[in-house]
Amino acid sequence: MDTRYFGFIAGLILCCNTVFAQINSARNPIIYADVPDMSMIRVGDTYYMSSTTMHMSSGVPIMKSKDLVNWQLVSYASNSLGDMDELNLINGKSNYGKGTWASCLRYHNETFYVSTFAQTTGKTYIYSTKDIEKGPWVEHSFKPSYHDNTLFFDDDGRIYMIFGAGKLQILELKEDLSGIKEGTEKVLIENASAPAGDKIMLGAEGSQLFKVKDKYYLFNITWPRGGMRTVVVHRADKITGPYEGKLAFQDQGVAQGGIIDTPDGRWFAYLFQDHGSVGRIPYLVPMKWEDGWPVIGVDGKVPETLDLPVSKGLIPGIVNNDEFNRTKGEPALSLVWQWNHNPDNSLWSVTDRKGYLRLKTGRIDTLFVKSRNTLTQRTFGPQCSGSTLIDVTGLKDGDFAGLCVLQRKFGQVGVKVKDGAKYIFMVSAETNKPVEIQSKPLLQNKVYLKIECNFKDKIDIANFFYSLDGKSWNPIGGPLKMEYTIMEHFMGYRFGLFNYSSKNPGGFADFDYFHISDQISAR
């Protein structure tokens, strides 16, 4: 028989095995949604991760995984940073783009710790608990606010914090975590960006410190001018230094994070990438050790596939549907939901009308982004849709209620009441100023609303729809060109349910459900 036949068959088998392996392996990005500034630990065979959600309430989300790929929200370390106008979205003040940044998750002496900082309050926070999933969390806070700090419990029992940007500093904390030990703050690395060159646009920040064997490894992100976001690593024999540095990874702007090992001895770097309007999305990159240094990447690159279990999707672990049906003893809201700021808890309910989320108005607002009690959860890529059925019987004149995609350049589809008449409307803030693109008379009290988001190849387009019967969907307004803006919001787009009053407080909107999907209309 012709040997070329055997060659063809062998090639075919190899090809099929490769395709099968790709289908049954994890793929990067590991989470195609806004989960920035990750900090990760492993306790036994279980991984935990904290992240940044800034102005959202509750804050400092905690996620859990058994395989580094499939994650679920299990807790929030912070219910609120405090009671002040900016956090409560009152008196014209807001917390957008501020709140908590860059947390650090640690496990020490059977206790979990999360440190973070907030520009809004000017404080550094350390939360602790024995049970990371059920709590309760104990808050320790002190001034000032230490930027992008990493918490570290050393073998001798001393507790350190490293922080800063460009010039990194170290200090020692009191044993009760109530503040710093006087006289311990000092410069650790004068110019931590140096391994990436002398023309730097973003000074080294996002510190994460690890001890592997007998050495300390400090991971940072920096950004050379004209280049991409870059990982730099410094190592030392003592936590206080001296440190020697090295450019550790530079590919696709995937940077900022740290390292994690598996029970079977493999190592990965966990890093994120700025990915347009969907936000900052996590990647896992294989890593090995050479001459006492971490070597990140496959031939220095981020691989598309990973030798880890396949992802089951982000539903229901990171985002989820909600029918707003609650049985006795269930939390009023599942962990996938966050309010745009501290909520006014007197103005929302899942019990006033069984099977519905009721959002009530209690004041007058002239701008949507200044209104309270917008209930949100993440969008995700490469594409997704969010939909709801809203009953607007309880709206008053001047009320606006519906579904939105929230960022500074937001988009809305919903129902407004003007001079006693109801209208379906679509608003776009693509030009930074909200503009009503279209409105249509509504002659019934229930209407279905939907927004579809396409993040594929950073197309970053949202389209808006309504339906009178839940079967036939009609486009309204026009597409919104979504844009990730650092000023103010500094996070990926979120779906949101809203209701606010521009004239007569006291009205309410009832949301029958919220459904989220990875499918959008073929167009």
Determine if residue 355 is left, alpha or beta; phi over 0 gives left, psi from -120 to 50 gives alpha, anything else beta.
Answer: left
Residue type, 141: S
pTM comes to 0.94
Q: Cα(285)–Cα(275) distance, rounded to whole angstroms?
A: 17
Q: Cα(411)–Cα(493) distance, rounded to whole angstroms?
A: 10
Pair type for strands 383-391 and 399-406? unpaired
pLDDT of residue 177: 97
Fill in the DSSP letter of residue 250: -
Of 151, 164, 63, 165, nearest in space to 104 by CA: 151
- The three-state (H, E, C) secondary structure of 230-247, written as one string: EEEEEEECCCCCCCEEEE
pLDDT of residue 523: 57
Q: E strands of 92-243, at which residues?
A: 100-108, 111-118, 123-129, 138-142, 150-153, 159-165, 167-173, 186-189, 200-212, 215-224, 230-236
Neighbouring-strand partners of residue 219: 208, 233
Q: What is the mean pLDDT of residues 395-414?
A: 98
Instruction: Give CA separation, 337 vs 320, 322, 454, 523, in Å.
Output: 9, 10, 21, 30
Percent of the chain residues past pLDDT 70, beyond the cut: 95
Burial environment of residue 264 by CB neighbours within 10 A (0 to 12, 13 to 18, 19 or more): exposed
- Confidence band of 14 (pLDDT split at 50, 70, 90): very low
CA dihedral 114, 73, 294, 300 (to 10 degrees): -140
Neighbouring-strand partners of residue 422: 417
* C-beta of residue 334 within 8 angstroms of C-beta of residue 319: no
Choose the weakest-confidence range: 306-315, 344-353, 486-495: 486-495
pLDDT of residue 21: 46
Q: Cα(360)–Cα(499) distance, rounded to whole angstroms?
A: 7
Token code pair at residue 354: 């069984």
Q: Cα(61)–Cα(508) distance, rounded to whole angstroms?
A: 29
Q: Cα(112)–Cα(274) distance, rounded to whole angstroms?
A: 29
Q: Cα(272)–Cα(284) distance, rounded to whole angstroms?
A: 8
Of 418, 450, 337, nearest in space to 56 by CA: 337
Instruction: Give CA separation, 425 vs 250, 406, 509, in Å.
Output: 46, 16, 15
pLDDT of residue 5: 53
pLDDT value at 340 more than 90: yes
- The predicted-structure confidence for 83-129, as pLDDT tens digits, reads as follows 999 999 999 999 999 999 999 999 999 999 999 999 999 999 999 99
* C-beta of residue 359 within 8 angstroms of C-beta of residue 431: no
- The predicted-structure confidence for 61-75, as pLDDT tens digits, reads as follows 999 999 999 999 999
pLDDT of residue 194: 98
Taking only Cα atoms into account, the Rg of the chain, rounded to an integer number of angstroms, comes to 25
Fill in the DSSP letter of residue 137: P
pLDDT value at 347 more than 90: yes
Domain with CATH 2.115.10.20 in the chain: 3-306
pLDDT value at 8 more than 90: no
- The predicted-structure confidence for 362-404, as pLDDT tens digits, reads as follows 999 999 999 999 999 999 999 999 999 999 999 999 999 999 9
Domain with CATH 2.60.120.200 in the chain: 338-517
pLDDT value at 243 more than 70: yes
- Confidence band of 522 (pLDDT split at 50, 70, 90): low
Token code pair at residue 497: 């349910």
pLDDT of residue 488: 82
* C-beta of residue 453 within 8 angstroms of C-beta of residue 462: yes
Average pLDDT, the chain: 95
Question: Which CATH number fits the domain 338-517, given the four candidates 3.40.1390.10, 2.60.120.560, 3.20.20.10, 2.60.120.200?
Answer: 2.60.120.200
3-306 is a CATH 3.30.70.2740 domain: no
Burial environment of residue 266 by CB neighbours within 10 A (0 to 12, 13 to 18, 19 or more): middle
- Confidence band of 19 (pLDDT split at 50, 70, 90): very low
Task: Phi first, then psi: give them for residue 22, nearest 5 degrees.
Answer: -65, -40
pLDDT value at 421 more than 80: yes
pLDDT of residue 7: 52
- The predicted-structure confidence for 271-307, as pLDDT tens digits, reads as follows 999 999 999 999 999 999 999 999 999 999 999 999 9
Q: Using omega within 30 degrees of 0 as the cis cutoff, is the peptide bond preceding 61 cis?
A: no
- Confidence band of 132 (pLDDT split at 50, 70, 90): very high
Q: Cα(495)–Cα(278) distance, rounded to whole angstroms?
A: 11
Q: Using omega within 30 degrees of 0 as the cis cutoff, is the peptide bond preceding 331 cis?
A: no
pLDDT value at 6 more than 90: no
Percent of the chain residues past pLDDT 90, beyond the cut: 94
CB atoms within 10 A of CB 136: 10
Q: Cα(390)–Cα(399) distance, rounded to whole angstroms?
A: 14
CB atoms within 10 A of CB 480: 27
Q: What is the mean pLDDT of residues 7-15?
A: 48
Token code pair at residue 499: 């209701």
pLDDT of residue 494: 98
CA dihedral 398, 508, 375, 472 (to 10 degrees): -80
Angle (CA) 380-383-389 rounded to 5° is 80
- Confidence band of 16 (pLDDT split at 50, 70, 90): very low
pLDDT of residue 134: 96
pLDDT value at 503 more than 70: yes
pLDDT of residue 367: 93
Q: Which residues are CB-contacts of 462 (< 8 A; sequence separation ≥ 6)? A: 405, 411, 451, 452, 453, 454, 479, 480, 482, 493
SS3 364: strand
- The predicted-structure confidence for 41-96, as pLDDT tens digits, reads as follows 999 999 999 999 999 999 999 999 999 999 999 999 999 999 999 999 999 999 99
Distance in angstroms between the alpha carbons of the first and the last residue of the chain: 51
